[in-house]
Amino acid sequence: MERRKTLSKAGRIVVKVGTASITDDLVLSDRKVGKIVREIMGLKKDGREVIIVSSGAIAAGIRKMGLEQRPRDLHMLQATAAVGQNELMKAYGKAFNRQGVNVAQILLTRDDFCSRSRYLNIRNTVNTLLKQGTTPIINENDSVGVEEIKVGDNDTLSALVASNLNADLLILMSSMDGLYTRDPVRDRNAIKIDVVDKMTGDIKSIKGKSRLGGVGGIQSKIQAGKIMMDCGIAMAIVDSGMKDVLSRLINGEPVGTVFIPDKRMENKQQWILFSSAAKGFIVVDEGAVRVLSKGKASLLPSGITKVKGIFDRGDLVAVVDGRGREFARGISNFSSDDLAKIRGRQCSEIVKILKRKACKEVINNDNIVLIKR
């Protein structure tokens, strides 16, 4: 009942399309692309907003460039992605044009989520496109991506996009028909899990690989599910080859696996936790751990014992206990240099030490988020 209620009220949906969902032997399939577009149009005609995060660019580029397999050389891989992205958008554009709908390409890297202004610009751009009736199609910018700025896989990218856009539901379309207790390819006794309402250790430990050209696997989908559940956004894993799978899912049929969250997290808190890497570490004493762990408390300089890393005012930092365990993350009001001078001191001493007016709080209570274990 909770599953049906959660899915039926989803007004804004991010649909992630896996490589296997739109290719046959690493060749873009007009038939498969057309099927997915028709199903997405069914959601749109039902009054729902849909944003697509699509894999498949590298696979499309492999065949277009006459290659026999996925390149290992980074520069060749980037070139393949650039060629393939054009083919991917042509395929989507052709299928959506038949439905009288325009598409827009948006290519992202991790940096676009790390910068708060760029993060908000993503949302503004997508909202404008949706108002115009245009379907945004998002992919990672593999043609320029290097390890430092890569999101990694489109399961994670789609989770970050869903968080950014305040989506109600993320649907992962792949060759998998859901999450199983064990890898169903290797174990016939594996049982499909219909609903995940708590991210237990058993769920986190499920293993398995993607098939037919995908980068992510079961673990990347579980990680996306954890991000979504922490954000308070529902997620589903479905088999893209199943007939009318999207409408059947939304209408409450027991297809795929659905992750049902509890409490919705504010968008700014989502950005603090998931969209950017911490630039440094603030080590605090046991008293500060106790106070902050209760929630709605600010971090003061008196509770800080060490400062690690180099960061500026306004950067995201990790807050760790004496054993190095991160339990919170937030936006620092001070640079690492200034914090090194005022750590362990009382608020009344800050002005004298820094010789200028400054905040009393190192991290304000509305800019700090506790990390769930």
Nearest C-alpha neighbor of 4 from the set 204, 260, 239:
260
Paired sense of beta strands 234-239 and 257-259, if any: antiparallel
Nearest C-alpha neighbor of 154 from the set 136, 170, 134:
170
- pLDDT score, position 115: 84
Nearest C-alpha neighbor of 241 from the set 18, 54, 90, 58:
18
Q: Distance between CA 115 and CA 11 in Å, rounded? A: 27
Report whether 101 contacts 40 (CB < 8 A): no
Q: Distance between CA 293 and CA 279 in Å, rounded? A: 21
Assign 299 to helix, strand or coil: strand
- The class that CATH gives domain 278-370 is mainly beta
Q: Distance between CA 239 and CA 251 in Å, rounded? A: 16
Return the residue matching tokens 């005012």.
313
**Beta-carbon contacts of residue 106 (< 8 Å; ≥ 6 apart):** 122, 125, 126, 136, 137, 138, 139
- pLDDT score, position 209: 56
Q: Distance between CA 136 and CA 125 in Å, rounded? A: 9
- pLDDT score, position 92: 97
Beta bridge partners of 24: 27
The token pair at 77 is 């891989």
Q: Distance between CA 368 and CA 364 in Å, rounded? A: 7
Nearest C-alpha neighbor of 6 from the set 343, 293, 235, 341:
235
Nearest C-alpha neighbor of 88 from the set 62, 108, 68, 114:
62
Domain 2-265, what fold? Carbamate kinase (3.40.1160)
Taking the model in full, what pTM does it have? 0.88
Domains of the chain by residue range? 2-265, 278-370
Nearest C-alpha neighbor of 102 from the set 132, 139, 125:
132
Q: How far is CA 358 from CA 337, 347, 348, 363, in A?
A: 14, 10, 10, 12
- pLDDT score, position 295: 86
- pLDDT score, position 158: 96
| Sheet containing strand 304-308, strands side by side | 304-308, 280-284, 316-320, 326-331, 368-370
- pLDDT score, position 217: 76
Cα angle vertex 118, ends 115, 121, to 5°?
150
Report whether 154 contacts 16 (CB < 8 A): yes
Helix, strand, coil: what percent of the chain each, to 5?
Answer: 40, 20, 40
pLDDT along the chain (373 residues), means of 10: 87 96 89 97 96 93 85 85 93 97 94 88 97 96 56 86 96 92 81 90 74 60 93 95 96 94 87 87 96 93 96 95 94 96 94 90 94 77
